[in-house]
Amino acid sequence: MNRLCERAVRIGLPAVVFTEHLDFEDSWKVDAGDIGEHAQRYVDDTGYVRLPRFDVDGYLAAIDRCRSAYPELRILTGVEFGQPHIWDAQAASLLDSGVIDRVNGSLHMLPFGDNDRSEPTTLYRYMSADTVMWEYLAEIPRMVDGSDSFAVFTHIDYAVRSWPTFTAGPFDPVRFEEGFRGAMRSLAESGRALEMNTRRLWPWIPRWWAEEGGQAVSFGSDAHEAGSLAANFPEAMAMVESFGFKPGRRPEDFWTR
Ligand SMILES: [Fe+2]
């Protein structure tokens, strides 16, 4: 967190939101190599990921330390809440307490087998690529209907990241256009913002979002280390501007149209 703050100051970023992962999944199945390096240490001998619970007090103390060390930087609290439609009740006491400024909702996992859930990266080994993609997109309206705790939907291209190009060919968003548009419609109708996740920039995301009635976007670089903080933000800002989105008053405000 220190390195991220230092980097933010150095590149002139006016504000950061530390959206720490908030997950209530006890465990989920992964195949070897299916999980990022930063989470490898949570995979046990049986191939299940076992995450430690979000340490709220530790997180808030760290935020306080950052605020004292970097008074020139606006630092906000946040969570990236995984599968909120399943875990809203468990998160309610934290999210109702008012200590969390920004609640992002993430869909990282889909049902897998009888009792498991797993990430697209693993699901692609067991189902056709198209099935995984359609199921991912179909789950988004269910997540919207099933939870009112999150204000922003993150990385709508999550299942695209691990798309198996080698067996399924290059990913073509137009083939899944109706699924993306339907997901966006449900998000727009519920008044939520769509995150422009700048790990990858896709012009069809803000275009379809605006066409489906989306009114607000946020920017997230998904930076798990300081070097990628705010990566591609200038390009993302130019892109959403061309679809009519404009910045708000404060740096952390959504861009709206
Ligand atoms: Fe995520």
Give the tens place of pLDDT for each residue, 88-141: 999 999 999 999 999 999 999 999 888 788 999 999 999 999 999 999 999 999
What DSSP string runs through 221-244? ---SSGGGTTTTHHHHHHHHHHTT
Q: For 139-160, what is each residue's pLDDT tens digit?
A: 999 999 999 999 999 999 999 9
Domain boundaries, the chain: 2-256
The two tokens of residue 28 are: 């989920």
User: pTM of the predicted model, to two decimals?
Assistant: 0.95
Give the SS3 label for residue 178.
Answer: helix
220 CA to centre of ligand 1 in angstroms: 10
Q: Would you state the torsion angle of the CA atoms of residues 206, 208, 209, 210, taken in this order, to the nearest 10 degrees?
A: 90
Q: What is the mean pLDDT of residues 31-40?
A: 77
The DSSP secondary-structure symbol of 157 reads T
95 CA to centre of ligand 1 in angstroms: 18
75 CA to centre of ligand 1 in angstroms: 20
73 CA to centre of ligand 1 in angstroms: 24
Tell me which architecture the domain covering 2-256 has in CATH: Alpha-Beta Barrel (3.20)
